[in-house]
């Protein structure tokens, strides 16, 4: 059996194990360990490589960015910052036809600029935005679709946990990845908002219930007093400018920004009296769980990368593409197609861990900018959060709704369909014009 056959066979076996329910990190570690053993014919070398990968993968202080931003996200959720973001956005768009939908997108964008976790956004705004939209005559399908669709902004607008993971896997700067995600993230948010306005104007039956199609009722409640509005805006502005402003202003690194964000979020939660000893302990525990899970993933992905390099599979694929006459465009189309296909069956992190070790060497051979390649990758992976049958954001929304709103998972997927189409259009735009991602890095 050739080394390449072993590598490609391990990839097929890995997909089978993951789809059967085995944890992706365990699958990566197990399959890679067996692959190295078969390639080298020595179980001792495989064991040593696994030990070395565990040491090398997360030894750098740069890895501290993961627990710090995760902690920031949990503290922000505890402090009800997501609710504040929605109320502020609602005040801005309250008189626009479809304004509550636009407000949900804007609030998700603001929340994303603080937390960077899509699933957290989906859970928070299902509880905050959906009841408000239903109250003012929005279709349940549209309401849940807006929340699930705009939640993907959490993984594109920096700080993004998925971009941090990509940076580790590709040896790119976390700060560069954050910078490259700004314009694509804002562009996607604007595209979502425009699509909502168009639907509310041209196809109101998709947005409003029959009783409200003609009027297109939105929030007609009293304007929020300036003092109350300022009390909600100031914490949001402080969090965003202290984290992102510090990074882009060159005041501190991404890791230090995570620490500043965590401190600011902690102070806001304490000032608002949203943090009790028991809830703080729960936040710390959940942060530890997420950090350990990410650490384990990166360690196992590291040995998987080494196994692939040992097998020579990436080089063989490059040679095959060259002989077949495939250029950069065909490679990118195949690559994005694979990601979109995997997005229907497995989660975002798993896709990165499986695909990148095989595809990054090929991208380097083609001379592609790996920061732009990362933005395209994250965008394509995030589409998987909205596509059936896996569509994690849709399931999070369904879970957060509980028994309060009777919307089936099929209806949620139908509600996300327009946003999936918009994401695909923006993805094609980013692939066609790489400068949209890289202009702020020049």
| Tens-digit pLDDT profile for residues 238-250 | 887 877 777 777 7
Give the count of domains, the chain.
1
- 59 versus 41: the higher-pLDDT residue is 41
Q: How far is CA 149 from CA 188, 227, 381, 409, 420, in A?
A: 11, 32, 13, 14, 7
Angle, CA of 263, 65 and 286, to the nearest 5°: 70
Q: CA 381 to CA 344: how far, in whole Å?
A: 10
- Tracing tokens 């390639």 back to the chain, one arrives at 39
- 352 versus 402: the higher-pLDDT residue is 352
Q: CA 180 to CA 341: how far, in whole Å?
A: 25
The pLDDT assigned to 201 comes to: 86
The pLDDT assigned to 214 comes to: 60
The pLDDT assigned to 403 comes to: 65
Is the pLDDT confidence value at 220 over 60?
no
Beta bridge partners of 208: 138
| Tens-digit pLDDT profile for residues 99-109 | 888 988 988 88
Q: Are 185 and 52 in contact (CB under 8 A)?
A: no
Confidence of residue 281 (pLDDT cuts 50, 70, 90): very high
Confidence of residue 391 (pLDDT cuts 50, 70, 90): confident
Q: Which DSSP category does 442 fall into?
A: -
Q: CA 276 to CA 270: how far, in whole Å?
A: 9
Confidence of residue 178 (pLDDT cuts 50, 70, 90): confident
Confidence of residue 126 (pLDDT cuts 50, 70, 90): confident
pTM for this predicted structure: 0.80
Q: CA 295 to CA 290: how far, in whole Å?
A: 9
Q: Are 66 and 162 in contact (CB under 8 A)?
A: no
Is the pLDDT confidence value at 222 over 70?
no
Q: CA 395 to CA 108: how far, in whole Å?
A: 18
Work out the average pLDDT over 312-327.
72
Q: CA 170 to CA 98: how far, in whole Å?
A: 41
Number of residues written out for the chain: 442
- Tracing tokens 């994250």 back to the chain, one arrives at 378
The pLDDT assigned to 59 comes to: 66
Distance between start and end Cα atoms, the chain: 47
Torsion, Cα 301 259 229 270, to 10 degrees, reads 110
Q: CA 140 to CA 101: how far, in whole Å?
A: 12
Q: Are 155 and 118 in contact (CB under 8 A)?
A: yes
Confidence of residue 212 (pLDDT cuts 50, 70, 90): low
Q: CA 336 to CA 382: how far, in whole Å?
A: 12
Is the pLDDT confidence value at 319 over 80?
no
Work out the average pLDDT over 259-282.
87
Q: Which domain holds residue 30?
A: 3-441
- Kindly give, in sequence order, each residue whose CB lies less than 8 Å from that of residue 434, ignoring residues fewer than 6 positions away: 369, 372
Q: Burial code of 392-418, b = ≥16 C-beta within 10 A, e = fewer?
A: bbbbbbbebbeeebebeeebbbbbbeb
- 20 versus 365: the higher-pLDDT residue is 365
User: For residue 322, what is the enclosing H or E element?
Assistant: helix 313-323
Query: What is the rounded average pLDDT for all residues in the chain?
Result: 81
Most confident residue range from 72-76, 297-301, 410-414: 410-414
Q: Are 348 and 356 in contact (CB under 8 A)?
A: no
The pLDDT assigned to 162 comes to: 85
Q: CA 88 to CA 98: how far, in whole Å?
A: 16
């Amino acid at each position: 059996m050739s080394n390449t056959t072993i590598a490609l066979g391990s990839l097929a076996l890995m997909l089978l194990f993951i789809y059967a329910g085995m944890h992706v990190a365990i699958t990566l570690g197990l399959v890679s360990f067996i692959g190295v053993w078969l390639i080298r014919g020595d179980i001792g070398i495989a064991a040593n490589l696994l030990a070395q990968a565990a040491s090398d993968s997360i030894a750098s202080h740069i890895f501290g960015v993961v627990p710090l931003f995760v902690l920031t996200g949990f503290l922000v959720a505890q402090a009800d910052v997501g609710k504040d973001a929605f109320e502020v956005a609602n005040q801005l768009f309250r008189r626009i036809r479809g304004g509550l939908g636009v407000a949900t997108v804007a609030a998700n964008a603001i929340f994303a600029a603080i937390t960077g976790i899509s699933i957290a956004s989906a859970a928070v705004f299902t509880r905050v935005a959906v009841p408000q939209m239903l109250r003012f005559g929005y279709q349940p399908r549209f309401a849940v679709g807006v929340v699930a669709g705009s939640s993907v902004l959490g993984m594109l607008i920096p700080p993004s946990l998925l971009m941090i993971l990509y940076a580790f896997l590709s040896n790119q700067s976390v700060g560069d990845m954050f910078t490259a995600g700004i314009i694509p993230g804002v562009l996607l948010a604007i595209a979502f908002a425009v699509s909502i306005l168009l639907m509310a104007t041209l196809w109101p039956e998709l947005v409003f219930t029959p009783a409200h199609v003609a009027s297109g009722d939105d929030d007609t409640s009293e304007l929020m007093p300036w003092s109350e509005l300022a009390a909600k805006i100031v914490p949001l502005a402080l969090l965003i400018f202290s984290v992102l402003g510090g990074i882009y202003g060159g005041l501190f690194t991404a890791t230090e920004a995570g620490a500043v964000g965590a401190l600011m979020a902690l102070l806001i939660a304490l000032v608002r009296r949203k943090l009790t000893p028991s809830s703080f302990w729960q936040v710390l525990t959940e942060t530890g769980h997420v950090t350990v899970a990410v650490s384990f993933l990166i360690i196992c992905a590291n040995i998987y990368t080494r196994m692939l390099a040992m097998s020579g599979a990436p080089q063989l694929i490059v040679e095959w593409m060259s002989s077949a006459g495939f250029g950069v465009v065909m490679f990118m189309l195949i690559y994005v197609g694979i990601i979109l296909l995997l997005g229907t069956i497995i989660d975002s992190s798993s896709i990165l861990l499986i695909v990148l070790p095989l595809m990054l060497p090929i991208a380097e051979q083609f001379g592609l900018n790996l920061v732009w390649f990362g933005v395209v990758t994250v965008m394509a992976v995030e589409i998987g959060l909205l596509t059936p049958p896996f569509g994690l954001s849709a399931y999070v929304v369904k879970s957060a709704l509980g028994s309060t709103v009777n919307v089936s998972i099929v209806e949620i997927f139908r509600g996300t369909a327009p946003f999936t189409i918009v994401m695909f259009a923006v993805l094609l735009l980013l692939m066609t014009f790489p400068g949209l991602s890289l202009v702020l890095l020049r």
